[in-house]
Structure 1
């Protein structure tokens, strides 16, 4: 998103015949289901050759994924059906290729076209990633009374526990993130309801825990995604539109993806590389949170290694023990950055680990002995290359993309 979460080459391979006609991905399984597909290769371990990519195990139902695509479809129906969509996308893609991010995200129509075209694939991938690291997210999920706002919830130590609460901050976040977190809380709610049905089949009341967690989401980016985020947020909490010919039973069963109070989202426009420690502390430092850099960090390194390192160090100083940092980005050669006069390239993971995990050697005043300070983070999950593939059963107005990505999850010590 914007200058802090950019497009780049890493958006994945378009599902199709692999030929490039210069258009922004007008290939793949849209409304026509393919046949005679070759079987997909089995998942490869992350320790295999560079060409081998581990395939993401399906941990989210196709039904849940389709509901998220419907949110994008209904939120941007005018954009998707407009004859101006292809030229708009080409203009955005040209600006991104030229790294003119101010122009690429400087118009509302560009932001909506981008969100309708490229954010759905990302949202499905991020939803799957969140479900995959759920056991770690449970460790920072607290219990608060329903109806508490984010600030009150963070300070409600004495409040009787009635509902899970998960605070999250997405750096470089926007359209894909808000829908992905909506899908995540929907999946947790469904899982809780199914479990309670098994445990108490005769219970007619629904406990607050079965409603899933309340997610308090802050999204920060240099481009103004506020209106897009609000539109998608409303779509998650509003029943989908029905035809005027819909039956009474269809109208009665028509429900929103999320219940009121399940998701609080706030967008903040700010340049990540310009954020100071004083600005970061009130955003990330009150309690342990989930922090994300989803297809953002490598672009930050590309802009400035020194500023990105300073940002990560400030983030480290601002966060509380137990905070989680989730990094998802492109794998392989796309994640290298030139360093020094010799233009030596280092993988993004190396730069990240060097900042977060390496011990710091210091010398106390008047003492010639060098001491090592402990690392600030511990790595919980690390996979260098994975596939996220779009199920062919899914339906969307325009083609979607498969995605390759690497994932790293850290916990603040």
Structure 2
């Protein structure tokens, strides 16, 4: 993610046993051991338990990690990876997003370090919420990811691979929109997803016959559009959204848009609402807690991001003394969930568990 998918100063720290920022790794080549589930507040809409395990088989989760490992082997083994990651983290801390995502080597370093965890989390969310997507086009699912990059393209492929096991997976038309130049990274990952992984020269004939790509070639058509989300006009959004119901995502993007400009973000959401057709789904995932609060007005009042979003989408604001009509229905919400990486996954560098809030809206 680039300018439209940014992170605060605490982003990227390893999840530890007693504190969200306490390191807790046990070896450089292993994923951190899962922790006991954290208690979550009652969701606003649909009742559910905080997710602690993915519904996706661990074998498929490992294949997802292999996609990143096989796509960027030189990056993962390079002696410059850690200095590059430090540069990116420093730029993110200083909120200098043009610098953090301004070089191809920075994008690749980000992709191997932070995108795998995100992709695993996103794919588990998509599979978990599949029952809400049954009313969308069953032959080709159109998706637009605002602030999307490396994690999103792999996450949708992983979700498709999991659903295809039950012959439920549609083809996907995936559009990623971001200011950072993710096109090259996305193209490499897209190609790796539809290509059988490399095998050792000592692999048996049966292993070679069984070797296959994560998804069938052509099952996902991925397009990257370099654009500033907050700069999109109504006509541009009309062109992006099209004429039918679809899935829209803002994955760890909306809070940073609000931080940039509440006015521009509000205009973007209102224009997006005008562009979308009934039945369209909007999936919003972001950091929970105080990080998702934004300063509003000269008095520096702080409002939760979720409240700001509901204020626009659900018609909670009042006009001339009367409550305005809602344009969206919130069909699912949870203000604190965990995605925990299962034991047994292997990756060359450490990955982290993730805590997030989630909301899913349907256009009325």
TM bucket, shorter chain: over 0.9
Q: TM-score, normalised by structure 2?
A: 0.92
Q: Shift in Å at residue 28 of structure 1?
A: 5.1
**Partner residue, 1:166:** 141
Cα distance in structure 2, aligned partners of 1:100 and 1:400? 24
Residue ranges of structure 2 left out of the alignment (5+ in a row): 44-48
Provide the aligned C-alpha RMSD in A: 2.4
Q: 1:340 to 1:349 in 2, by over 3 A?
A: same
Deviations 1:349-376 (A, max 9, x none): 000000100256556xxxxxx6654210
Find 1:396's aligned residue among 319, 343, 347: 347
Tell whether the 8 Å contact from 1:13 to 1:403 is kept in structure 2 after alignment.
Answer: no
By relative contact order (CA 8 Å, sep 6+), the higher-ranking structure is 2
Gaps of 5+ in 1: 143-163, 193-209, 364-369
CA contact (8 A) 2:249 2:282 kept: yes
Check if 1:279 corresponds to 2:236.
yes
Kept in 2, the 8 Å contact 1:43–1:55? The answer is no
Aligned to 1:125: 121
Within the alignment, does 1:333 sit opposite 2:251 as a pair? no
Seen in structure 2, the aligned counterparts of structure 1 residues 44 and 26 have a Cα distance that, compared at 3 Å, is closer
**Inter-partner Cα distance in structure 1 for 2:176 and 2:20:** 33
Residue of structure 2 in register with 1:46 after alignment: 41
The match for 2:336 among 357, 376, 385 is 385
| Alignment partner of 1:179 is 2:154 | yes
2:46 alignment partner in structure 1: none
> Contact 2:14/2:21 (CA < 8 Å) preserved in 1?
no
Counterpart CA distance in 1 for 2:24 and 2:84 is: 14
Structure 2 CA distance for aligned equivalents of residues 78 and 33 of structure 1? 20
In 1, the alpha carbon distance for the partners of 2:21 and 2:126 equals 34
Measured after TM superposition, the shift of residue 44 of structure 1 is: 2.8
* Number of equivalences: 359
When residues 42 and 90 of structure 1 are mapped into structure 2, their CA distance, relative to the original with a 3 A threshold, is closer
The alpha carbon displacement at 1:391 in A equals 1.1
Matched, 1:219 2:176: yes
> C-alpha displacement at 1:245, in angstroms?
2.0
Shift of 1:280: 0.3
- Distance in 1 of aligned mates of 2:286 and 2:86: 24
Q: Which whole-Å CA distance do the structure 1 matches of 2:35 and 2:249 have between them?
A: 30
Question: 1:10 deviation in Å?
Answer: 5.8
1:191 aligns to what SS in structure 2?
coil
* 1:406 is the counterpart of 2:363: no
Q: Structure 1 pair 278/409, CA: closer, same or farther in 2 (3 Å)?
A: same
Whichever of the two has the greater Rg, that structure is: 1
Aligned to 1:151: none
Aligned-partner SS, 1:353: helix
**Which residue number corresponds to residue 189 of structure 1?**
164
